[in-house]
Amino acid sequence: MTAFSIVQPIQYNYLGLASALFVMIGLYIAYSLFTEILSGYSAEIEKIGKKIRFYCWGFIVSLSVWWFILDLPDSFPYRISVPLVKITWCLSLFFFSIVCLDIIVYFFFDVYYRKVKNIDIPHIISNLIRGIYFIAVILIILAFVLGYDIKPLLTGSAILTAIIGLALQDTLGNFISGLALHLSRPFDLGHWIKVGVLEGSVIKIDWRSTTIKTRAEDLVTIPNSSISKVELINYSMPTRTHGVYLDVGVRYEYPPQLIRETLMKSASETEGVDLSQPIEVQLSGYGPSSVNYILKFFISDFQDLPRIRTAAMEKIWYIFQRNDIEIPFPITDVFIHEKKPLFDTKELTWMLKNIDFLQDLDSGEIQDVINRIKLLKFAENEQIIKQGDSGDTFYIIKQGTVKVTAENDKGETIFTKDMEAGNFFGEISVLTGEPRTASIFSKGSVELLMLNKNDFEYLLKKFPNLAEKISQKIAQRQKFSFEKMATNKHKTSEKDAEEQARKQVESLSRQLLGKIRAFFSIS
């Protein structure tokens, strides 16, 4: 039989060709409507249309060819038409089943679980299902459509699988471990984990390994089989909140209540500590040279642990130093040293002489003040005093810079300035008991000289004339303001304005003196 005799029936089968074209056009229109409907929902759902495009076209073409072959005349050779019908039908079944699977997998995993259940199923699972389904469809077509005996194929596949399994047991072990990790979900992308001695943030999870980024910005790839064999700690589940424990030892003479309050204060003032969680202090034991405490607080993200831990320990040092709480040396150490003075007497005398209400004190009185002064150290951005609080301390800036801010009743900043070494603040509150009129923060490391209410009470009672001197000096600071106000308000001469200012200064001085004597119970 010549080739012409085979082609001729096809050439004159116009009705079958038209029928096949009609089927193809109808399937194409149905496919176009389906993709158009999907595109109308969202960009995510539109992805499924793009994903199944190849298989849809494969189904349309194979089914159309199958339809055309079915309509071939009886004169078409049987030995050619029957295999073509089977092949095109098998291809149609194959492509249609893959399309259905992709649609089901997409809506099951990407829509139902991710959107409804809020569970992110890894792609490795959906890909594994597609692979198993792909092989199953081929075997079913070979067995039930084409009539092949697939038992030898299955037997050979089992032997081949055993050989491959032995050769690739490490790879398969990683794959199975990766699948188990994806199913059990002990961690996810972005979680901070510890695997053995390695610690870092998870940046990649695949079928073979997991990659983490350490604090040193190094990427470490860990085989999944290794992860399944060691202890794994997830610092991001069930929440990212993480408890921090700090061991602190102090000398025996300090009462536990004082240490507890001081440690809780240091944690509450540390930036990064989660104040919505409780702060606890536990007395853990009595050591050879110290009473040991455990400070427990929480942070919002384990990744910030080193920074916040360091900040908390720095805060403890500064607060201990300001409250004369010592962290002892081990009792086995022999440490002999000559304690250096906190400050130079000449330098301090000069600083005190520059304070207006102390400059009239003689050398003996100045030495009395020096003996009572305490040196305090503050870290960067610590709040020294708070506006509105009652104050019983007076400060002289020995080193560094502080920032002064005042707010109105609405919380709006109405005044701000910096004060450097040699300046002082807090004298009105410590002398009269009035609330602080501004908040003051340290800018960088700051050293302050401090006198408290008890120190001033001692000085005022020892030197009876000191209260009057102080009230006069503080009132004298306002003289320029009083003169300016008198000039602007009454448009008086400079002489009259000066006289009015003098009277106001005297009045203010008497008021301050009365408040000081009442506050310190001085007759």
CA nearest 470: which of 459, 483, 482, 484?
A: 459
Q: What is the pLDDT of residue 45?
A: 60
Domain 177-234, architecture per CATH: Roll (2.30)
CA nearest 397: which of 375, 424, 359, 370?
A: 424
Q: What is the pLDDT of residue 47?
A: 66
> At residue 74, what is the residue type?
D
Angle made by CA atoms 204, 206, 207, in degrees to the nearest 5: 160
Chosen CATH of 342-463 out of 2.60.120.10, 3.40.50.920, 3.90.230.10, 3.20.20.210: 2.60.120.10
| 3-class SS shares of the chain: helix, strand, coil, % to 5 | 55, 20, 30
Give the list of residues 6+ apart from residue 482 with CB closer than 8 angstroms, or none: 500, 501, 504, 505
Euclidean distance between CA atoms 376 and 322, whole angstroms: 5
Residue 41's Cβ-count burial label (10 Å; 0-12, 13-18, 19+) is exposed
> At residue 59, what is the residue type?
F
Q: What is the pLDDT of residue 27?
A: 80
Q: Where are the domains of the chain?
A: 3-167, 177-234, 242-322, 342-463, 464-523
Q: What is the pLDDT of residue 33?
A: 77
Q: What is the pLDDT of residue 12?
A: 46
Radius of gyration in angstroms for the set of CA atoms belonging to the chain, rounded to a whole number: 43
Q: What is the pLDDT of residue 92?
A: 81
- How many angstroms from the chain centroid is the CA of residue 72? 71
For the chain, residues with pLDDT lower than 70 are 1-14, 16, 37-50, 71-83, 111-128, 144-184, 207, 330-343, 477-497, 501, 523
**Pairing relationship of beta strands 383-385 and 291-299 according to DSSP bridges:** unpaired
Q: Tell me 15's DSSP state.
A: H
CA nearest 442: which of 371, 360, 372, 380?
A: 380
Residue 305's Cβ-count burial label (10 Å; 0-12, 13-18, 19+) is middle
Is-contact 481 458, C-beta < 8 A?
no
Q: What is the pLDDT of residue 163?
A: 47
Euclidean distance between CA atoms 476 and 54, whole angstroms: 92
Asked whether the domain spanning 342-463 has the same topology as the one spanning 242-322, the reply is no
Find where tokens 């990790």 sit.
Answer: 181
226, two tokens: 């290794």
Is-contact 430 393, C-beta < 8 A?
yes
pTM of the model: 0.57
> At residue 406, what is the residue type?
A
Q: What is the pLDDT of residue 168?
A: 44
Chosen CATH of 242-322 out of 3.10.129.10, 3.40.50.300, 2.60.120.620, 3.30.70.100: 3.30.70.100
> At residue 168, what is the residue type?
L
